[in-house]
Amino acid sequence: MKLGFTRSNVDPKFYFNVVQGMPLILVLYVDDLFLIGSEPLMIECKRKLASKFEMKDLGLMHYFLGLEVWQRPGEIFLSQGKYIVKLHEKFGMTEMEDVICLVLTRGKWSPCFLYTLTTWTNSIMMSLNIRNT
């Protein structure tokens, strides 16, 4: 079956195709397949794949490799909230208070949270194998 995808030189699990000027990206991971692109292109690609392979469409992605994924029209939000909660528990920081600040994003002020303890930050950085220089 020929779908017109080109395999990435950087990552063998990443394929891309441009159909009528619109990108369609296919990512393979173990026995999962992810499509990224316009709705009509994804529907057509899924139809062609399903004609050759037994498949189950699980809909929009919600969780993948530790990332939580929320999607709205034109937006994708990624979070590692569950991972951060586990780190809080691991380092005994579940009672820690946050500092609320504002961040300018796309010309709009949005709240964000900063953690105040340097030792906590260093512990997490060590847990992630990131070293201060």
Question: Which helix (H) or strand (E) is 44 found in, with range?
Answer: helix 39-52
- Provide the CA 25 distance to its chain's centre, in angstroms: 14
77-103: pLDDT as tens digits: 888 878 877 887 888 877 766 656 666
pLDDT at 114 over 60: no
pLDDT at 117: 44
The string of pLDDT tens digits covering residues 6-65 is 999 989 999 999 988 999 999 998 888 889 888 899 999 999 999 998 988 888 888 877
Q: What are phi and psi of 9, to 5 degrees?
A: -75, -25
User: How far apart are alpha carbons 102 and 114 in whole angstroms?
Assistant: 10
Q: Is 60 helix (H, G, I), strand (E, B) or coil?
A: coil
Nearest to 3 by CA among 62, 50, 59, 38: 50
Higher pLDDT residue, 2 or 48? 48
Whether pLDDT at 125 is above 60: no
Domains in the chain: boundaries: 1-59
Structural tokens at position 62: 């919600």
Q: Provide, rounded to the nearest whole percent, the portion of the chain with pLDDT above 70.
A: 75
pTM above 0.75, yes or no: no
| Residue 6 to residue 15: CA distance in whole angstroms | 5
Q: What is the pLDDT of residue 17?
A: 92
